[in-house]
């Protein structure tokens, strides 16, 4: 995208406002290289750091990544532990560079769960607080996130408001429902990218990606790079988004 932005073709490139990424393939990447699984996650975390900064640099306004799902707790205890350690280290670096990167970090998912380590939970809250006034890209990290549980959560919150008499059933519409989602006040993703050649959404943002464009890539997440973002934006730019019209 650096090359695109520098030439006259830039005006013809339709930039997505919001990109969502399902980062898949860390374990398979490590296995093919005959490395322990934790090395795949470590490399994946390094790639995420690079890609988030690059998206911020080229003007993407919102980036949402699927970092850890509610189902991922079912993985081997050793692997989950290694991921938690990596996340702690990752957040430490973001907190340290918050002013430099100018990104606004948000964690979307159930942080109240007892499964979430207290130290990690507190660090996530700290990072959101430190970056809340930043004016760069909004970077959503989906952690302990499940799309269906998000919808159930929103439904319960609306039902509670009806019960208290704050709203009537007739007030409930799509806009009101969206206000109870983790991504309230944000545009829905324009483009969803999934790596490792898996052709499914895996409970990721089911409400928000109804009209998103999808791009499925064969390469594993640890092999993903800035050029892949450039190519994804080019592909997105060539698509005609009719949204049912």
Active site residues: 24, 72
Q: For residue 137, report the phi and psi dihedrals to the nearest 5 degrees.
A: -60, 140
Contact between 105 and 94 (Cβ < 8 Å): yes
| HEC sequence for 113-149 | CCCCCHHHHHHHHHHHHHHCCCCCCEEEEEEEECHHH
Selection from 221, 218, 215 nearest residue 234 by Cα: 215
Three-state secondary-structure class, residue 22: strand
Residues 6+ apart with CB under 8 A from 197: 216, 217, 218
């Amino acid at each position: 995208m650096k090359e695109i932005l520098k030439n006259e073709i830039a005006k013809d490139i339709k930039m997505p406002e919001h990109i969502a990424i399902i980062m898949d393939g860390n374990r398979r990447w490590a296995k093919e290289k005959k490395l322990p699984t934790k090395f795949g996650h470590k490399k994946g975390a390094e790639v995420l750091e690079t890609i988030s900064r690059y998206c911020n640099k080229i003007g993407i306004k919102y980036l949402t990544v699927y970092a850890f799902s509610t189902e991922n707790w079912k993985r081997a205890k050793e692997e989950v532990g290694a991921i938690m350690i990596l996340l702690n280290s990752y957040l430490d670096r973001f907190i340290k560079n918050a002013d430099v990167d100018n990104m606004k970090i948000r964690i979307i998912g159930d942080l109240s769960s007892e499964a979430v380590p207290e130290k990690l939970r507190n660090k996530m809250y700290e990072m959101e607080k430190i970056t809340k006034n930043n004016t760069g890209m909004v970077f959503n990290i989906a952690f302990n996130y499940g799309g269906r549980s998000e919808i159930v959560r929103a439904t319960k919150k609306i039902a509670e408001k009806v019960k208290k008499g704050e709203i009537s059933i007739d007030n409930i519409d799509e806009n009101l429902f969206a206000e109870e989602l983790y991504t309230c006040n944000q545009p829905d993703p324009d483009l969803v990218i999934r790596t490792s050649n898996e052709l499914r959404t895996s409970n990721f943002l089911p409400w928000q990606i109804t009209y998103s464009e999808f791009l499925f890539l064969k390469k594993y997440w640890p092999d993903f790079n800035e050029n892949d973002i450039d190519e994804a934006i080019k592909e997105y730019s060539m698509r005609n988004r009719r949204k049912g019209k």
